[in-house]
Amino acid sequence: MKYLMLHTLDESAHPDITEIATPPHLEAELDAWIKEMLARGIVLDGARLRPVADATSVRVVDGEAVVTDGPFAETKEQIAGYDVIDCPDLDSAVAVAAAHPTTQIGSIEVRAFDDGMPDPEVPEHPADGKLRYLMLVCADMRRSVAERGGAEAVADAEPEDDGEDDIDRWIADAGARRLYGWPLGSPDRAVTVRRVDGRTVTTDGPFAETKEQVAGYDLLECDDLDDALEVASGHPVAGGGVIELRPLWR
């Protein structure tokens, strides 16, 4: 089963983190975590994101793309990185997250992907002249769950027409600019992990109680931000939700 780990932190509490890839006091612990999880075949992909000041959000209103600087939600903690992991179950995924040093300075939301996600195959480095962006597809998922009778009802329901033809067309239009992506399960099934006074503390639900939640994501490789915005504004969810673009650190 594949899970997304969303690393979140309050940048204002760690101002140095916007200037360096890894805080020095966590570097050795992070290197050890990466080596262990790669050796165990748990981590399939992941990256640090540029600071939230580099985030750009886009919505489509009346057929026009509306672009704003900043993340999809104004919250104290913001997404700072991600990992795609492969674990037998949610408890195992939470244990993997609990061992990550991000929990010392922020939190990690653990959320299952929808079934059927293939292993991501991502070249180590972008092609010459290209930049990589994490594209967060954000929508009011809680309203959808409530309208359909809760998370269990959604899980047990027969598949509906969720605009899959539109998604397929978007993927075709994105072409080589989209490296991979997949939808996420309900935020009601998320678990957020952090460390408090040396203890691992888990809470049910996403890292922030916001109207719009991350419903899925795609990894893009584009010429520049304008090129990435063109891809993002064509996504079907942009018409009713919001798409956040964030450049990868590397």
* CA 239 – CA 23 distance, rounded (Å): 38
Confidence band for 155, pLDDT divided at 50, 70 and 90: very low
CA 156 to each of CA 90, 152, 160: distance values in angstroms, whole numbers, following the listed order = 19, 6, 12
pLDDT of residue 14: 74
Could you tell me the strand order of the sheet in which 107-112 lies?
43-48, 78-86, 2-9, 107-112, 191-196, 199-204
> What is the reported pTM?
0.88
Q: Please name every residue paired with 133 in a beta bridge, in sequence order, or none if there are none.
A: 220, 247
Q: Are 52 and 73 in contact (CB under 8 A)?
A: no
Would you say residue 162 has pLDDT above 80? Answer: no
The secondary structure of 37-98 as a DSSP string is HHHTT-EEEEEEBPPGGG-EEEEEETTEEEEEES-SS--SSEEEEEEEEE-SSHHHHHHHHH
Superfamily (CATH) of domain 2-119+126-247: Dimeric alpha+beta barrel (3.30.70.1060)
Where do the domains of the chain lie? 2-119+126-247
Containing H/E element for 165? Answer: helix 164-174
Average pLDDT over residues 177-187: 96
Residue 22 pLDDT more than 90? no
Residue 11, burial from CB neighbour count under 10 angstroms (0-12, 13-18, 19+):
middle
Measured CA to CA, the distance from residue 218 to residue 200 in angstroms comes to: 30
